[in-house]
Structure 1
Amino acid sequence: MAPPQWRRPSSRATLARRTEGDLAGDSDKAGAEAPADSSEAGAQAPADSRGAGGQAPADSRPSNPSAARRSAASLHEFRPSESQLTGTVLGGRYKVHGYLTRGATARVYLAEDLQDNASVAIKMLSSESIKEHELTPRMRREAEALRGIDHPNVIRVLDTGETQSGVPYLVLEALPGETLGDYLRRQGTPPFELALTLMRQAAQGLCAAHRAGVVHRDVKPDNFVLLGPIGEPYGLKLIDFGMAKLSTGAGSGTHSILGTVEYMAPEQILMEKVDARTDVYSLGVVMFRLFTGHLPFDTDAPADLLRHQLFSSVPPPSWLEDDLDRRLERMILTATRKNPDNRYPDMQLLLDDLDAMVGVSASEVSERPPPVAPDSYAPSTERGAEALGILAQKFGRYAQPSVAPPRSSAPAAAPEAGEAPDESRAQKP
């Protein structure tokens, strides 16, 4: 099996450097929702994108959820298609106007709240998914998680219900928009200042979730929806809490790996205990992609991707973007360390560094040498150790059994920030 290969893009754009102080577009601006595979509320996006559902800003949220819907987008801002549910009134209140989009397990419809004369998005399990017993509790868990979070960078659920045949659904405020994933696939990396603004808001939303005792477990570009004109966003919202872990102990009820492998921390892959540091890792991978235009591990082979996430250090982003601010690189590499004890202890500290980066605080971006050396993942459960041992055996000499190998023996281990990588092992296009 070949060692990891870091691929440079064929052309590398120079990042614009900040020349002013504070950035516009803080967390009082919010996004919408619906990733390609999470089936959130869709809206006015191209046919292959996933539209929007969102929430009112926290500081303007009335105590009455009905009043919160009055700020929703009007129906004419959406382009639903006909569906068998068109014309159906759910719960005696929500008239379905058409189908918006679908994900792996759910469909999203545009509806009108007849009581408040406002547009809403209905997220409903698909007919195929309703047969999978674990998905109904997952949707209920999503509603429970969202009800405990009040923040302008997190989607809010407005209501829940069931159809006459017992199919559960969520009612979300519908907002036009596209996902960050849609933006990246269409336009590539955003301007530097915009990227910083978006990542600050992403960290703020995740901080709010963690304060409410919720670990998202599926942080990725397709689970952030942008607010503003297509191609010109000014904010975002975190969406799709279907895989969330609540502090009450409510989990997925499954032994399947939950999440998206490209953004998953080692403890997720091994199905071990997750906490806020798991989301820190995933957001670090999102930041890597946002500022370089590439994922840290560029492979289409699922086995290789698992191997890299478990055993390979993330390469320095500056190898792809020569002019990337070394403070930002330090943040990304700290967030994506394999050992959770070597990452930021919580999302707030990552947010503090982002605030320092953009100049909204007088602090300096922190330097956090890893307290545990080498930076490798050691399983905390017998099941995790067994799984890692099996994977290490499969990966041969590029992994060690039971624990991830030291940096010196890891497959094509990434050099420390500022150190040139061994380009004899790198495949360039």
Structure 2
Amino acid sequence: MSAGREFVGNYRMFHLIRAGAMFEIWAVRPMAETTAYAMKWLPPGSRYDRSTVAQLKHEYDVGKALDHPSIIKTYDYGDSKKDGAYVVMELFKTPNLKQQIHDQLDSLHWRLDTILMECAQALEHMHRRGWVHRDIKPDNFLVDENNHIRLIDFTLTMKIKTGIGKMFGGKMPVAGTHSYMPPEQIRGQACDARADIYSFGCMVYELITGKLPFTATSPAELLNKHLKLKPPSVQMLNRNVHNDFANLVGRMLAKEPKDRPESLMEFMRELKAGRVFQIKPKKPLPKVEEPKDD
């Protein structure tokens, strides 16, 4: 944490949300305003370098190119040697889906069809605008109790290559989150919407079962499983999953892009026409705290 700093640019910093290895996330307010925003900040100093600044500017450029209620809104960018570099975004106070999977999976299942529809709509908007996210995972979806969604983090987002650009684009640097990476991304090949569909399929699998499609004792072993192995059907881990939806998840996790749904519109059509679970889970009752002994 960068202690002693009160302002960055024209923003007053009033609450540190999270401090990572490279960036700090702060709640901030513009001077003379009361509205709070989130700031992703690269402080000046040893972490501040040209490539990391360019990464942050890229996030800003992608965010400004998107306009969907379920995608985090991006407002401002700044860069100076005195203040470091920063992106100012909408402040959306809620845990991400990964945290909720760990803490309260049952509270997601009764409303999972709605959550998945909203997540898919946000990602489909990106694809229609010509972008592939390349890091779809539950950590990058914020979901509140009213099923409002925000897709975040455009660090690895790239323009979808078409035509000659797709044929002669060269090998891509291998980057992403190993537990959700599609085979073509692992191989450094060009990615389109179907790469995100694979990662989204891994996320759906985890939301249904509480487990990842693949686990391993090393990164190399994990990536090799994504390349070569077929995961167990979600019905083996949750018998309440409807057959049609289990088959849909299996197609999303196909090794070859051509064998996956062509777009998330196809996923949404099938989700709307069917259902995730054979018997819809009930909303859990609120937890009652036990009285403490004096």
Using a 3 Å threshold, how does the CA distance of structure 1 residues 104 and 246 change in structure 2: closer, same or farther?
Answer: farther
Other-structure match for 2:152: 239
* Alignment correspondent of 1:344: 261
State the alpha-carbon separation in 1 of the partners of residues 106 and 4 from structure 2.
38
Does the 8 Å CA contact 1:125/1:168 hold for their aligned counterparts? Answer: yes
2:127 to 210, 213, 216: 210
User: Could you tell me which residue of structure 2 aligns to residue 169 of structure 1?
Assistant: 86
Shift of 1:172: 0.8
- Aligned match of 2:23 in 106, 110, 118? 106
CA contact (8 A) 1:202 1:238 kept: yes
Aligned length: 268
Which residue among 182, 186, 207 is the counterpart of 1:269?
Answer: 186
Give matches, 1:193-232, under 5 Å.
193-228=110-145
CA contact (8 A) 1:125 1:169 kept: yes
Q: 1:165 deviation in Å?
A: 2.8
1:337-376 matches, cutoff 5 A: 337-358=254-275
Please report the TM-score for the alignment, with normalisation by the length of structure 2: 0.84
The two structures have a TM-score, normalised by structure 1, of 0.59
Cα distance, 1:350–1:104 mapped onto 2, change above 3 Å: farther
1: CA distance, partners of 2:260 / 2:46: 40
When residues 255 and 125 of structure 1 are mapped into structure 2, their CA distance, relative to the original with a 3 A threshold, is farther
SS at match of 2:274: helix
Distance 1:160 1:107, change over 3 A: same
1:403 is matched with none
Structure 2 counterpart SS, 1:178: coil
**Any conservation in 1 of the 2:171–2:190 contact (CA below 8 Å)?**
no
Change (3 A) 1:329 1:311: same
Shift of 1:331: 1.1
Which residue matches 1:130?
Answer: 48
Question: Equivalences for 1:150-161 in 2 at 5 Å?
Answer: 150-161=67-78
Mapped contact 2:201–2:252 kept (Cα < 8 A)? yes
Q: Is the 8 A contact 1:267 1:273 kept in 2?
A: yes
Q: Give the conservation status (yes or no) of the 8 Å contact 2:132–2:193.
A: yes
- Say whether the 8 Å CA contact 1:145–1:246 is kept in structure 2: no
- The answer to whether residue 227 in structure 2 is matched with residue 310 in structure 1 is yes
Distance 1:160 1:106 in 2: 14
Judge conservation of contact 2:171–2:188 (CA < 8 Å) in 1.
Answer: no
Alignment gaps of 5+ in structure 1: 1-81, 360-429
What's 2:37 paired with? 120
What is the alpha-carbon distance in structure 2 between the residues aligned to residue 218 and residue 151 of structure 1? Answer: 18
- Answer whether contact 1:310 1:338 (CA < 8 A) is retained: yes
Is it true that 1:87 corresponds to 2:10 in the alignment? Answer: no
Aligned ranges 1:245-260 → 2 under 5 Å? 245-247=158-160, 256-260=173-177
State whether residues 119 and 174 of structure 1, in contact with CA within 8 Å, keep that contact through their aligned partners in structure 2.
yes
> Residues 350 and 264 from structure 1, CA distance in 2 versus in 1: closer, same or farther, beyond 3 angstroms?
same
* 1:342–1:108 Cα change, 3 Å: same
Match of 2:212 among 295, 301, 305: 295
Root-mean-square deviation (Å):
2.3
Identity of aligned residues (%): 28
Deviation at 1:104, TM superposition (A): 4.3
Flag the 1:256–1:125 CA change in 2: closer, same or farther, 3 A: farther
Match of 1:143 in 2: 60
For residues 198 and 162 of structure 1, the distance between their equivalents in structure 2, rounded to whole angstroms, comes to 36
Greater mean alpha carbon deviation, residues 274-283 or residues 297-306:
297-306
1:226 partner amino acid: V
Rate the CA distance shift 1:128–1:267 in 2: closer, same or farther, 3 A. farther
Does the Cα contact within 8 Å between 2:251 and 2:261 map onto a contact in 1?
yes
Deviation at 1:115, TM superposition (A): 4.3
- The structure, 1 or 2, with the larger RCO (C-alpha pairs under 8 Å, 6+ apart) is 1
Q: Is the 8 A contact 1:189 1:293 kept in 2?
A: no
Q: For 2:48, give the aligned amino acid.
A: I
Distance in 2 separating the partners of 1:255 and 1:216: 14
SS in 2 for 1:118: coil
322 and 140 in structure 1: CA distance in 2 versus 1, 3 angstrom threshold: same
